[in-house]
Amino acid sequence: MSEQPEPAAWVPTYPRIRQIDEALARVERLVCAAMFLGMGLMVFASVLPEVFGRRREWIDVVALFVAALVGVYTRTVKEGERRPNILVGIGLAAAITLAGSALVWLYVREFPGGFIWAQKVAMVLMIWIAMIGASIATYDRSHLSLEMGEKLWPEKALKVVKAAAHAITTGFCLIAFIVSVQLVLTQQEEGDPISPAVEWLPNWVAFLVMPYAFAVMTIRFLAQSVTNATETAAPVEERLPS
């Protein structure tokens, strides 16, 4: 039986640059995740006063108690733990209900209109998440593309074609970077806030992420173009839209 030869191990070129790129991608992921969490919770916080601002119904407390009780008894029990007995379970559910109700009551009493700015700030976060996400997608080489194009080329020509595609994309991102800088400068000159209700946050801050993202994407696509042309690109794991 003939054994398949092991593919040669990939040796990274420019290890320092790759390390910096990887570190930047990690920071981007961390920032994005934190913003994502903040955005979701911020919008949720604006929902609470809408639902409970003028509503004081015992049925809500009962529903919370039932949910807490179900939660206590469906909570995953890890090794070495035991499910609480019925009395402890009811006690726990009551405590959760009391704490939850009190928190919501206090919150809607202190902030009956919610936070007017929450929704708009959440939208700013959305733009930041999306643009940094685009930068991460560049790092992961997972931007959507019509892959049929790649399938038409012979193996030998493929590296040149890929390098060309990345070079074109580099050019596009570079132009986008310049235009987005102009956009932000114009917004800064105009000095408008993101919304009349959120005067403390200028519009240009929301879009400041565009020049950043396009700049990083330009550099990353340029690097990918060079590494493709010189056949030093890192092997890409199979891409899965998530």
Partner 1 sequence: MTIVIVILLLALVGAPLFVIIGAATAVAWDMYGGVPDFWAMGAKVLHPFETLMTKDAFLAIPLFVGTGAIMTEGGMARRLVDFMRALLGWLPGGMGMAAVLACMGFAAISGSSPVTLIAVGSIMFPAMVGAKYPENFSLGLVMTAGSLGCLVAPSLILTIYALAVSTAEHGSVTTEQMWVAAYVPAGALALILCVYCFFVGLKGGERDKFSWGRVWTTGRDGVWALALPFIVFFGIKEGFFAPFKAGAVAFTYSLVVASLIHRELEWKKLFATLSEAARLMGMLILIIALTFSLNQLFAEVELDKKLAKFLVDMDLGPIGFLLLVNVFLIVVGALMDSVSATLVFAPILAPIAVLHYGIDPVHFGIVFVVNMEIGYLMPPVATNLFVAAALFKKPFGQVSRAVMPGLALTIGAMMVFIFVPTCSKGLPNWEDTGDIAEVWEPFPWDGKPVGKLFGEEGHAGIGSITGASAEEALKDDSIDKLSEDDYYFGGGDDDPTAVEPASSDAGVEALDAAAEDDDAEDDDDDLDDVQL
In whole angstroms, the minimum distance from the beta carbon of 217 to partner 1 comes to 9
Q: Is 162 left (phi over 0), alpha (psi -120 to 50) or beta?
A: alpha
Nearer to partner 1, 89 or 133 (CB): 133
Q: What backbone torsions phi and psi does residue 12 show, to the nearest 5 degrees? A: -70, 135
Nearer to partner 1, 119 or 232 (CB): 119
Q: Is the dihedral of CA 231, 235, 240, 242 positive or negative?
A: negative
In whole angstroms, the minimum distance from the beta carbon of 197 to partner 1 comes to 13
In whole angstroms, the minimum distance from the beta carbon of 194 to partner 1 comes to 6
For residue 211, what is the enclosing H or E element? helix 209-229
Task: Let me know: does 199 contact 193? Beta carbons within 8 Å.
Answer: yes
In whole angstroms, the minimum distance from the beta carbon of 153 to partner 1 comes to 8
Name the token pair of 234: 């890192």
Nearer to partner 1, 11 or 240 (CB): 240
Q: Is the dihedral of CA 58, 60, 66, 68 positive or negative?
A: negative
Nearer to partner 1, 2 or 155 (CB): 155
